[in-house]
Amino acid sequence: MTEIVSDLATELADSYEAQASASSSSSQDEALPSASQIYRTGRVLYYCHRDKSSSASSSTIDGLIDGFDQILSTIPPSHLTTVLLHDINYAFAELIFSYASSSSHSPTPIIASIGSMLPLRAHTNKLSSQYTWEDVLHGTESICGIYLSSIACGALVSEVEGQDGTKLLQLVFLSLSWVYDCLSSDDNGADKDGDDNMKDFILHSLSMVLRYGLIDSSTKSSNHEGDDDDEQLTNIMNAIQNIQEALGEYNCALGDMLDKEQNEQDSLVNTLRSTFISKDASQQQPPQLQYLLAMLRSSPRSSDDAKPAAVPSSAAITEIESNPQPLQKQQNMVDIQIEHIHSILPSLGEGYIEEALKCYNHDLGRTLEALL
């Protein structure tokens, strides 16, 4: 552990000890950890987890995470979600949005999506900010460390009537995915080994956020009764679809996360299957689960052989404009496929069917098989 982080850990321990001593004579709110303490704890956990190299240090970091979980479990859930994590995650997202807007980075769909979630203040201040890439890295360390905690991940999802309870989770996912994309770019001049370590940590954090935040929270909120599987899967699909749309065509964070953990027992795909596959002898996968897994498989990866240019060339645009018929023919074929599936499954919406067709490369037979 670096000297700076060692000093931070000592200072942090002293602050918790002082807080515990004062709690007996203070109100409950005054005795609760602050957002600053949670943020600094995350950075300490990041370095401890990153530098573990033996079974002894591994057990130590596990103990630290357990201790962090115990601290978070003493905080009222609503306060943890709507105050502490809300403030931390929105500050991190605003940092990224301001840095990306005032630096040489080209505008991307993911930054636009992050900006749409932020208050007006972030848009007003973005061009006058003095944030640096080092600030972004320090923030990423803290966020990744915080979401080593399953309790912190679970607190990202809230149950608010008439609102999307996964908005905070989506904001965290998009923010970390943007950093991952920057670390993956060829023009990033930082230390490659350090980049790879942080990239692996980000992918681990993304998986934790989805497994403990999106899936576990969804099933716990309804006690996971069989009749509720369709509703839970729909909620999960909606959140994943929102994330994929915000990531755009070229951000590979979600796809690389799936590739990295494909041989691991504690993976997103295995968690989905163990949660929603029928427990009887048939081991049947619900159609919505099949569709969700297909959605995940369609995520772009860094390992993809060919990636289209982010901006089409003027020659390509001219060719499309001068030859509209093939495109029109393709669109007509899609409409025919949607109409055919809708005639068999009238309860499904056209948008839902269109997304399913995309997942199976417009293979009508495979799409129908998955939806039936």
Confidence of residue 29 (pLDDT cuts 50, 70, 90): low
The total number of structural domains that make up the chain: 2
On whether residue 277 sits in a domain, the answer given is: yes
On whether residue 9 sits in a domain, the answer given is: no
Q: Are residues 269 and 331 in the same domain?
A: no
Q: Are residues 248 and 288 in the same domain?
A: yes
Confidence of residue 354 (pLDDT cuts 50, 70, 90): confident
Predicted local distance difference test score (pLDDT) of residue 27: 56
On whether residue 154 sits in a domain, the answer given is: yes
On whether residue 5 sits in a domain, the answer given is: no
* Pure H helices in 185-286: 192-208, 216-221, 229-247, 253-260, 268-276
Q: Are residues 125 and 247 in the same domain?
A: yes
Is-contact 332 267, C-beta < 8 A?
Answer: no
Measured CA to CA, the distance from residue 150 to residue 204 in angstroms comes to: 12
Going by C-alpha positions, the residue among 280, 302, 298 that lies closest to residue 196 is 302
Q: Are residues 97 and 202 in the same domain?
A: yes
Burial grade of 59 (CB within 10 A; 0-12, 13-18, 19 or more): exposed
Q: Are residues 288 and 258 in the same domain?
A: yes
Q: Which of 17-26, 91-100, 148-157, 340-349 has the lowest mean pLDDT?
A: 17-26
Predicted local distance difference test score (pLDDT) of residue 310: 38
On whether residue 236 sits in a domain, the answer given is: yes
Domain residue limits at 186: 76-297
Judge whether residue 308 has pLDDT over 60.
no
On whether residue 41 sits in a domain, the answer given is: no
On whether residue 42 sits in a domain, the answer given is: no
